[in-house]
Amino acid sequence: MVYLIVTSLIWAFSFGLIGNVLKGLDPLSVASVRLVVALVVFLPFVRPGRVAVRDRWFLMLLGAIQFGLMYVCYLSAFRFIPSHLVALFSVLTPVYVVLIHSLRKKRISAHYLLAALLSVAGASVIKVKAGESGQFWAGFGLMQLAGLAFAYGQVEYRDWKRKHAALRDRDAFGLLYVGGAVLALVASSVLSPGAPAIPQASPTQWLVMCYLGAVASGLGFFFWNVGAARSTPGALAACNNAVVPMAMFASLFVFGEISDVRAGDLVRLGLGAVLIAAAVVIGQRGQPTARE
């Protein structure tokens, strides 16, 4: 749990940094830089000789999904919605964690359908202007894809690590960053062909990207997956929740996004957040409590 709590604190400020300090940069280029920096940090620790060939490919594919696909969707969402909404719409990740775990155990509940309906209702309450409808729902949809990818990676790595308990996490974790970096670079070249290979960023923006890559992505993902491997699905889902209110507070009050939110919008934001939080509670009903 300590690993998960520390990571939640680190990630709380990432949303605001991306949405405000890195505003204007191509999101797929930012994703590539973050994952390449994370890979550089962990590459010296990788011991491929201790990992079976089949597992190497598996971990790279897992990293492509959990880190690469997640970042492509997550960072692209900032094009459409402000960082406090990006944070809020990530709140359904714990529902996806429990859902994926339940599907793997061949247990499913109608709670998930109700949770999905409530989450969409909450997002509908938050949406304010009809003219922004397309962009708003694009951001919401991208965040759900990001949440699914990140949730799948957590559960999959947790199960894989329990089958390879003798292998140290650091010996293999860099392989996930290989897969994530490759997917992000390919996505950047295909989806943003006009963007420069090296982002044209200010020194401050480069400092933030390096911090996000080395600390928030590098150490953050490592701590998170190590903590996930040692936690129950319920505890893992709960810690996924913890980062959301902290990230929203940081985006609204530390990075000043509250100045762009009118009183009426703030009420709708609060009501929508309550509905989405209710979706999370309902989605986690009946979740496994044993260390499966």
Q: What is the arithmetic mean of pLDDT over 223-235?
A: 74
Residue 197 CB neighbours (<10 A): 9
What is residue 91's predicted lDDT score, i.e. its pLDDT?
Answer: 75
What confidence tens digit (pLDDT) does each residue in 66-86 have? 999 999 999 999 999 888 888
Whole-number Å distance between alpha carbons of 96 and 279: 11
Residue 143 has pLDDT above 60, yes or no: yes
CA distances from 292 to 93, 170, 195, 225, 272 (A): 19, 23, 45, 16, 34
Contact 181, 29 (CB under 8 A): no
Q: What is the arithmetic mean of pLDDT over 164-172?
A: 89
Q: What is the arithmetic mean of pLDDT over 206-212?
A: 96
| Mean pLDDT lowest among 21-35, 53-67, 239-253 | 239-253
Residue 177 has pLDDT above 70, yes or no: yes
Q: Which 3 state secondary structure label does DSSP give 23? A: coil
Taking the domains of the chain in order of start, what are their residue ranges? 2-283
pTM of the model: 0.81
